[in-house]
Structure 1
């Protein structure tokens, strides 16, 4: 029986030709190629950075330009050049797990913050290699670097405001503080006691607040951000929800209602005060208007009196000229008659001469036109007016002559 077995083996090797051996070898190589084809060539996408570590030497090659590269059975690691990191409690943002970050405010209130931030891989190979060496994958970079930096920034932002402030007047500060600290490093802070006015109680009170330490209006940093150390860029941090605890949410609503009531009361008080001021101003305006109306009447009266005075003075001057004319005519008549007397007149002729002279003077005076309006001297009725004085002087001169 043993001899039969030996005979079968001998026949098998005799029938196993070189051609069959070649086919078997090629088949084996084909199977090996199929199994390890993914380790031979690696494709680099335009949006990726690929790092390949050689299977034989352990050397690392970094590829940032798109196209196929030789892998040579090495290990290839892919990194997105840019990716959106989510820290959200929504299923359609990031993954299905709750990735929101908890924040604690200076009044003891808590909230869960959801949002996202865009991060970018460095462009220089030295920084890329350091990231790859320290983290080894994109997921590790996001969870161990990006998330930790954002979480620390959120944690350090909470003490800078109260729950109510984060929901209202400091909502924009909440976003800017988190983004700035994530990119540049957390702030150096200090505690201070300050006095504030409580609108609800209408009193001043002292509270302890956390403030950012500044130098030349620039915030000082407690440490440099880790993303800056690794030359990773963060941009466009956004918050899409702040979910407060139920107690905090109710407290904020109560505070807002009370605050609105106080503001309404203050507004009504200011309105009443303003109405009183307006009424006072309107009264002053009416008084001033009445005063100026009287001033206008007074000015008109003064102007009219001034005009009357000027007219009276002009008429007085006219009367003086007329009086001078009368005097001149009388002088001429008197001179003519005196010549006739000196020439020798009878008593009858002289009587007629005196009669004619007096009649001539009377006729001259009757022709004198006096002003219809004139200004009296002192207004007490005792002192003569300017016109009376002038005419008196002129008539006196006529009498003397």
Structure 2
């Protein structure tokens, strides 16, 4: 800009010198005196020289400065630097490159002025389904190795040429190879992350060498163990592509890598895919079928869990009834065992009582035998007159006491034929009762 302004000022001063003698009456030309003309021409020379000697390096941009005498240097710091009328090749530190799907009006939307934006292209997957793929790629240049940066700048001349001739072809080739490695159905079924991984790996390390192979489609078995149905596609063979490997590493195309230019892939992702209309219709039908299948599956699961619930309820009721019966059985068993124990204890008690009664009877018999033996000894030994008199006294006293306590019947009926025997009957009753009490006293 300063160079252009300086050149304009120099040309203006020279023109004024030429036309001033012709238009002597012009007030404007009279203002431009000879001194002022020389000043303007000198200022123009200074501006043109200054702009050729110095330049301002913008932030985030590296410059390759090529001098007229053949040398060159790299400038990566912002500020004022010398160029000495040399050529500048500015390249951004990071180069954003985007493929964008236009909207219905054909607009690409608001984009950064520093990004290189193009319309997304259509690419074919391995199952021949086409889609417009929008990508966002960020490439970083090498500013550490000055020689490599100058080599890249010298071979590509401009930043735009570097993007168009080196980077974009690599991006297109990476997308093409990655699309060959999978079906569109595989992409929407969960292999989108694999797509991004293959895409970025090829940009960084070079393009894969792909090889064709024929994939035999296996028969799909549908149904349970009792009912089996198979679906066989009419096209039993389909050409596929896969990555060629040697010694466990993928084979890559030689000389087709951004690393050779000191470029690093900072970002490489697929931002959007616009499928062709036929695949969109098929995809919509598939979504509806999946939704219907999921609904039927949920209904089947609901019925299954309902049956499980009823089974569990029946098992719970059976368990409760079993517990109740077991409880009753335990109670009856305990009662029976208790009765058996009580009967056993009663038997033991009766046995003990019997043994005690036998022992008491034997004791009484022994004592009675001893007393009888003693009485017999006394009788055999004979009683003295004094002992006999004492014995007869005690006996008469006891008889008198017994007669006093004797209770005879208040009414006595006797046959008339036996009146002469009244005295004998009364005596018999008295004697019988008296004898009973005397025996009772003796037993005591």
Normalised by the length of structure 1, the TM-score is 0.70
Q: Secondary structure at the match of 2:272?
A: strand
Q: Tell me whether 1:293 sits opposite 2:324 in the alignment.
A: yes
Q: Tell me whether 1:241 sits opposite 2:272 in the alignment.
A: yes
Distance 2:171 2:133 in 1: 11
Consecutive unaligned residues of structure 2, counting only runs of 5 or more, are 1-32, 102-107, 380-431
Does the Cα contact within 8 Å between 1:101 and 1:151 map onto a contact in 2?
no
Aligned residue-pair number: 333
Aligned to 2:250: 220
Consecutive unaligned residues of structure 1, counting only runs of 5 or more, are 1-19, 361-401
Aligned to 2:54: 41
Q: Tell me whether 1:115 sits opposite 2:126 in the alignment.
A: no
Aligned to 2:310: 279
Distance 1:175 1:22 in 2: 70
Aligned to 1:254: 285
Distance 2:220 2:96 in 1: 43
Does the Cα contact within 8 Å between 2:125 and 2:179 map onto a contact in 1?
yes
Shift in alpha-carbon separation, 1:268–1:186, aligned structure 2, 3 A: farther
Q: For 1:7-46, what per-residue CA distance to the aligned partner results, in whole angstroms no more than 9, with x for missing partners?
A: xxxxxxxxxxxxx999998876654444454322122223
Shift of 1:282: 3.9
Q: Tell me whether 1:81 sits opposite 2:81 in the alignment.
A: no
Distance 1:83 1:147 in 2: 11
Q: Secondary structure at the match of 1:291?
A: helix
Q: Secondary structure at the match of 1:169?
A: helix
Q: Secondary structure at the match of 2:262?
A: coil
Q: For 1:363-399, what per-residue CA distance to the aligned partner results, in whole angstroms no more than 9, with x for missing partners?
A: xxxxxxxxxxxxxxxxxxxxxxxxxxxxxxxxxxxxx
Shift in alpha-carbon separation, 1:105–1:33, aligned structure 2, 3 A: same
Equivalent in 122, 126, 132 of residue 147 of structure 2: 126
Shift of 1:143: 1.8
Aligned to 1:92: 110
Distance 1:32 1:202 in 2: 92
Q: Secondary structure at the match of 2:119?
A: coil
Distance 1:221 1:146 in 2: 21
Q: Tell me whether 1:182 sits opposite 2:203 in the alignment.
A: yes
Distance 1:272 1:213 in 2: 50
Shift of 1:121: 0.9
Equivalent in 53, 68, 77 of residue 80 of structure 2: 68
Aligned to 2:194: 173
Aligned to 1:9: none
Shift in alpha-carbon separation, 1:229–1:244, aligned structure 2, 3 A: same
Equivalent in 213, 216, 236 of residue 193 of structure 1: 216
Aligned to 1:309: 340
Q: Secondary structure at the match of 2:252?
A: coil
Shift of 1:102: 2.5
Q: Secondary structure at the match of 1:171?
A: helix
Distance 1:252 1:58 in 2: 61
Shift of 1:136: 1.8
Does the Cα contact within 8 Å between 1:149 and 1:226 map onto a contact in 2?
yes
Equivalent in 101, 104, 107 of residue 121 of structure 2: 101
Equivalent in 151, 155, 165 of residue 176 of structure 2: 155
Shift of 1:341: 3.5
Q: Secondary structure at the match of 1:302?
A: helix
Normalised by the length of structure 2, the TM-score is 0.64
Distance 2:358 2:209 in 1: 113
Shift in alpha-carbon separation, 1:290–1:81, aligned structure 2, 3 A: same
Q: Secondary structure at the match of 1:301?
A: helix
Root-mean-square deviation over aligned CA pairs: 3.9
Distance 2:348 2:262 in 1: 107
Shift in alpha-carbon separation, 1:295–1:85, aligned structure 2, 3 A: same
| Greater Rg over alpha carbons, structure | 2
Aligned to 2:382: none
Shift of 1:277: 4.2
Segment drifting more, 153-162 vs 25-34: 25-34
